[in-house]
Amino acid sequence: MSRLFEAPARLVFAAFTRPELLARWYGARGWRLTECDVDLRIGGRWRFVSQGPEGARMVQAGVYRQIEPPHRLVCTERFDDQSYPGETLVSHEFFEVAGRTTVTTTLLYATAEGRNIVLRYPMARGVGQSFTRLADLLHSTTTTKEEHP
């Protein structure tokens, strides 16, 4: 999955790693982070608890494997009530050109069965909605900084 953001890589990377920023954009429409723990170091753990429509709850967590600010972030991911086998390896690449950053996210599932199960979910829609919220946050952050240096 790839998305271009109108912001420098350092800000986009911060939005992926700072709890106070993650809480402002992470999740599909109707979902919000109610808990966000980030221990940003190799071997450090992360854990997100999201609340959705009608009280739905989702918990996901993992371990950071690679951290190269502001270019690369790699971690594992597993959901508390996961419907597919194994742990997923999530890689985010941040590539900046002229103050604009493309984020490319690659998900490596433990099994082909797991990947096929996830492809039946509305994940692409949810990630798209979440990234739209991130784009709005980055726009407001960069606009505010330009207006008030």
Query: What's residue 142's pLDDT?
Result: 73
Query: What's residue 148's pLDDT?
Result: 41
Query: What's residue 114's pLDDT?
Result: 93
Query: What's residue 145's pLDDT?
Result: 53
Query: What's residue 136's pLDDT?
Result: 95
Long-range own/partner contacts, residues 94-98 (CB < 8 A, 24 or more apart): 94/9, 94/12, 94/13, 94/70, 95/9, 95/71, 96/8, 96/9, 96/70
* Entry pTM: 0.92
Query: What's residue 125's pLDDT?
Result: 85
Detail the DSSP E strand segments found in the chain.
2-5, 32-38, 45-51, 57-68, 72-79, 88-97, 100-108
- Block mean pLDDT (10 aa), the chain, length 149: 96 98 95 97 98 95 98 97 93 98 97 92 87 95 56
Query: What's residue 87's pLDDT?
Result: 96
